[in-house]
């Protein structure tokens, strides 16, 4: 852990939507927030660009090296169709989502990532949004589903797709009591 006053965990695996990990990560870092990428895999994980495999990102810690969300102020879950589908069958990854929720810490999930919130059993009675194709899943899990760029309910922050990244990132930064430079959001 470095000297940043706030730390965010990005929980992801291979097939994360490239922009939904890289852009919020850059925005958080520019706001002075420390970011760790945590994954079931060690080494590095590969993103998914729009039509093919994209860039890799270094994994800072594996899910087994993290105990009870300690040292982290918030959790960020990027989407991509492949990534949350792999993560939601990893018991430790799902347990991490539950731990952040039990601690009342912000959890920001975009696109297909609300699948992880459903898997963790934490969306019932909450207002949330997601990628259009999984909204039925959210509704079936008891969420109040809305269609807007960012839905905030208690500690949960959800967004629909990569176009929502600026609003999504800004909501998380502000939830952590930090400020974000609007110009940096526009370039995201």
Q: Which sequence positions are flagged as catalytic?
A: 111-112
Beta-strand ranges (E) seen in the chain are 7-11, 16-17, 34-39, 44-48, 53-58, 61-62, 74-77, 107-110, 127-128, 144-145, 151-153, 156-159
User: Would you mind telling me the total number of residues written for the chain in this entry?
Assistant: 188
Give Cα separations from 144 to 69, 129, 131, 161, 172 (angstroms). 27, 8, 14, 18, 20
* CB 13 within 8 Å of CB 87: yes
């Amino acid at each position: 852990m470095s000297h940043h006053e706030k730390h965010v965990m990005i929980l992801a695996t291979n097939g994360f939507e490239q922009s939904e990990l890289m852009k919020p990560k850059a925005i958080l870092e520019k706001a002075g927030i420390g970011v760790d990428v945590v994954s079931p895999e060690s080494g590095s994980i590969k993103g998914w660009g729009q039509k093919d495999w994209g860039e890799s990102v270094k994994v800072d810690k594996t899910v087994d090296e993290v105990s009870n969300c300690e040292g982290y102020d918030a959790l960020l879950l990027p989407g991509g169709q492949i990534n949350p589908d792999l993560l939601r069958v990893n018991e430790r990854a799902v347990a991490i989502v539950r731990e952040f929720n039990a601690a009342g810490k912000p959890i920001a999930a975009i696109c297909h990532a609300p699948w992880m919130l459903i898997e963790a059993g934490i969306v019932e009675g909450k207002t949330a949004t997601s990628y259009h194709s999984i909204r039925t899943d959210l509704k079936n899990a008891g969420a109040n589903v809305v269609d807007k760029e960012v839905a905030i309910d208690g500690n949960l922050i959800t967004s629909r797709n990569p176009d929502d990244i600026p609003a999504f990132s800004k909501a998380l930064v502000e939830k952590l009591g930090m400020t974000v430079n609007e110009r940096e959001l526009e370039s995201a």
